[in-house]
Amino acid sequence: MQTVPGEIPLPSIKPAPWARKLAPALGVFLCAACLLVLTVRGWSPAVLFVGCLLCLAVLAWGHLPPVPVESSRAARLVCIVLVAPLVAVFVSSAFRADGYTGQLDAPLRFALAVPIFLFALRMRLDVAHSLRWMLPVALLLLLAARLVQGQPARWPAERMTTGFVDPLVFGYLSLTFGIMAMFGWPGEDRRSHPVIVGLAFVALALGASFSIGSQSRTGWLAVPLLAALWLHLHWSRARRWSLAWTAVGACVVVVAAFMFVPTIHARVLEALGEVMQYPWHSVPPDTPVSLRITYLRIAADVFAQHPWLGVGLTPLLSPDTLPPLGYASPVAVKAALQSGFHNQIVSDAVRHGIGGLFATVALLLVPLVVCLRALGSTSAVTRRNAAMGTAFFTCVFVASFTTEVVDLKYMASLYAVMAAIFCGAALARRDD
């Protein structure tokens, strides 16, 4: 067994030529999880399952470089975080004697991403190189699907989406793709091919227009945060008063959107009005923002009653077992049980107790922290990957405060693949 100084030694395995040749194409295939997630039903689960099997094969026979020792602790943490939701659900359901296996579906998908993460780390995958053209293509394909299929009958006519995608997911995910494309350029030398620059702006315009057309506010608060980060990374970092200019630029983006986009103007004022007029001592109206506040109050009372093991899947919960909820209308109670509490962390805390709470917080935050730390890397490739990953995880984290982001099968699969490849790209050793 041969070892390289400073790296973790691994057992010698006779390499297979096919595995080594497959590795580059497999990297592109994993990045393509974004490509058709909004247009083809079952796309992201297929990428996850097939990618997991192929990554296991390449890891076994591809003779990839070993895990760098300086990344070993962070790599172990990422693996633990990907497995933690499955462990939390399994333990809580076992102690509750809850035999319903459907609650293991989404957590299992995160665990399946562990081989993908190890492949991306050892392969030194350059995710941003593929996604900077895949994301614009994904949004152009989404535009084509909208033009061909029109508005699905199952959703309200005023809420733009595709046939199988909830308008909330359609809104924040299309916006996320547009913002991520902007983080794919410029290069470290502040120059990029004009086609790449043009595609980035096309992606941003399409993503923003789709998000506005969905009539969903989910994820919008990520825009000023990421606008400030983009300005800091690509425009003001080397200038005098850089922090001040960054803050001013982000504020200009927010104010301009509020002033000149009627949908944003109306939806923001509507949300502020509902928050200010929410009746805390009587039954509130069943409006979107008021319902979200009521959902959180219901979740707090249910969690206080079952803090350690949770209650399991809430659609299976009998209303008779709930604590007194005199402040909530029957519509609010039914919607909270059937559709969740419109907050990923809160929903998992209610379902699976303290373990579910910590597992979900880690799942949403650790990949973001890994990418944020990699922004200071000496490698330009790592910084570009980390910036794009930061954009993705920031948007999803912000969206998680107003809707469940990884409960749907296709979103759990997409997040699992993205967490694996972005964390692998951020922690990989590079020579540039």
pLDDT exceeds 80 at position 190? no
Name the DSSP class of 261. -
Residue 254's pLDDT is 83
pLDDT digits (tens, 9 = 90+) for 222-264: 999 999 899 888 765 555 556 676 777 778 888 888 898 888 8
What is the C-alpha to C-alpha distance for residues 283 and 278, in angstroms, rounded to an integer?
Answer: 9
Q: Amino acid identity of 270?
A: E
Contacts 24+ apart (CB under 8 A), 209-213: 210/139, 210/142, 210/160, 210/170, 210/171, 210/174, 210/175, 211/171, 211/172, 211/174, 211/175, 211/178, 212/261, 212/263, 212/264, 213/159, 213/160, 213/263
- For 335-379, write each residue's pLDDT tens digit: 999 988 999 999 999 999 999 999 999 999 999 999 999 999 999
Question: Tens of pLDDT along 112-150?
Answer: 999 999 999 999 999 999 999 999 999 999 999 999 988
Summarised one tens digit per residue, pLDDT across range 72-109 is: 999 999 999 999 999 999 999 999 998 888 899 999 99
Residue in the structure block whose two tokens are 């993705």: 392
Helices (H), 40-126: 43-61, 72-96, 105-112, 114-123
CA–CA distance from 192 to each of 16, 85, 148 (Å)? 37, 40, 33
Q: Please state, in angstroms and as integers, the Cα–Cα distance from residue 417 to each residue in 46, 107, 119, 324, 413, following that order.
A: 11, 13, 11, 41, 6
Tokens 């591809």 found at: 62
Token pair listed for 276: 């200010």
Lowest mean pLDDT among 189-198, 219-228, 361-370, 420-429: 189-198
Global pTM reads 0.93
3-class secondary structure, 9: coil
